[in-house]
Amino acid sequence: MAALIRKGTYFGAAQRQWAATQQLVRNYWNKDWKPGPIPTTREGEEAAAKKFGLHPSEYKPYPDDGLGFGEYPQLPNVSGEAKDPYYPWDFPEHKRNFNEPLHLQADMYGEDRFDVSSNPPINKWRQLGTFLAVVLGAWAIFKGTNNIRMVPPVMPKQYPQSGVKHYTFESPE
Amino acid sequence: MGNIQPLHGSDITPSPLKDTIFDPEFGFPNGRKEREMIATVEEMNSAKLPMKDRDYCAHLLLKFRACRADVYPFVVKCAHEKHAYLTCEYEDYVLRMKEFERERRLLARKKRIEAKLHQEVGA
């Protein structure tokens, strides 16, 4: 009886927070997150664009190469660093607005990852060239001058050891 | 002035890293006096002498250190021992310079003889 009452209270809690329960049960299944098939008709495209909060002119699905991205939109590759830091983002730490669609590979384009939209003042070929010029130049100087090393004109220091005889320049008595 | 030499300056310049390739007694009809190691291994071990100091002047270094230990803190009293040790090291260096010059001249001689032989064979 007591067990039944306890069970009843559990049901009661679920009923009191019915909205949360419904949300958990209805929306947090893997199948609910799976994108639908690639739209073929114009109406289907518009519906998909609306689903992801995009204007129909911005909506473009990934080409069907069998990987199963479905109707998920192909968004431009813009890194976090390229986004305006002074814009009042809803989530400034991710530079993202509420309900803004995420890039399929959003984990790759965050501010802590590489900047695909970077435009450095010195381009990468010149950077590589400068690096190689300095390193190879230093190597060439080392290699070219290695044979003209200057040393004091003395033989190695003589240490007494068994089996080795060292001599002075005097004659024995 | 010969204070420094190119390591591979020419083929008659000896390497300062390698020992002589010639017979040490060559050119000494009466022979040469052998260098004498006075300090024993036991003495040097007992004094914990580092390996780099265990050369032919080690007995003088041991005397110098013993003197310092005896008269400390009036170490200026060991000026004589210090001078003796440093003179020994200086003479050791001079000997090495002489050995270098001997090696250089012997290499030049060897080259000369080989050139002459080559000429005779070619002619």
**Other beta carbons less than 10 A from residue B62's beta carbon:** 21
Torsion of CA A20, A25, A26, A31, to 10 degrees: 140
Report helix angle B58-71 to B79-122, nearest 10: 170
Can you list the positions of beta strands (E) in chain B?
5-6
Judge whether B30 and B23 are in contact, CB under 8 Å.
Answer: no
Can you list the positions of beta strands (E) in B44-116?
none
What does the pLDDT look like over B52-106, one tens digit per residue? 999 999 999 999 999 999 999 999 999 999 999 999 999 999 999 999 999 999 9
- Cβ of A148 within 8 Å of Cβ of B6? The answer is yes
pLDDT for res A7: 56
Torsion of CA B111, B117, B122, B123, to 10 degrees: 120
3-state SS record for A77-99: CCCHHHCCCCCCCCECCCCECCC
Environment class of residue B29 by beta-carbon count within 10 Å: exposed (0-12), middle (13-18) or buried (19+)?
Answer: exposed
Whether B22 has its CB under 8 Å from any CB of chain A: the answer is no
pLDDT for res B91: 96
pTM of the model: 0.56
pLDDT for res B11: 77
pLDDT for res A33: 74
Whether A163 has its CB under 8 Å from any CB of chain B: the answer is no
pLDDT for res B14: 85
Query: Is the N-terminal amide bond of B73 cis, ω within 30° of 0?
Result: yes
**Other beta carbons less than 10 A from residue B65's beta carbon:** 17
Closest CB to B32 among A152, A168, A173: A168
The pLDDT profile of chain A, 173 residues, written as one tens digit per residue, is 555 555 555 666 667 777 777 777 766 777 777 788 889 899 999 999 998 889 999 999 888 887 778 889 999 999 988 899 999 999 999 899 998 899 988 888 888 888 888 888 998 899 999 999 999 999 999 998 877 777 888 999 999 988 888 999 999 87
Environment class of residue B56 by beta-carbon count within 10 Å: exposed (0-12), middle (13-18) or buried (19+)?
Answer: buried
pLDDT for res A12: 67
Three-class SS state of B76: helix
DSSP A70: T
Whether A166 has its CB under 8 Å from any CB of chain B: the answer is yes
Report helix angle A18-27 to A2-16, nearest 10: 80
Name the residue type at position A81: E
**Per-residue pLDDT for B13 more than 90?**
no
Judge whether B114 and B33 are in contact, CB under 8 Å.
Answer: no
Query: Which helix (H) or strand (E) is A150 found in, with range?
Result: strand A150-151
pLDDT for res B33: 93
Whether A152 has its CB under 8 Å from any CB of chain B: the answer is yes
Nearest residue of chain B to residue A157 (CA atoms): B96
For residues A157 and B95, give the distance between their C-alpha atoms in angstroms, rounded to a whole number. 10
Three-class SS state of B11: coil
Closest CB to B32 among A148, A150, A169: A169
Closest CB to B98 among A148, A169, A172: A169
ipTM of the complex: 0.84
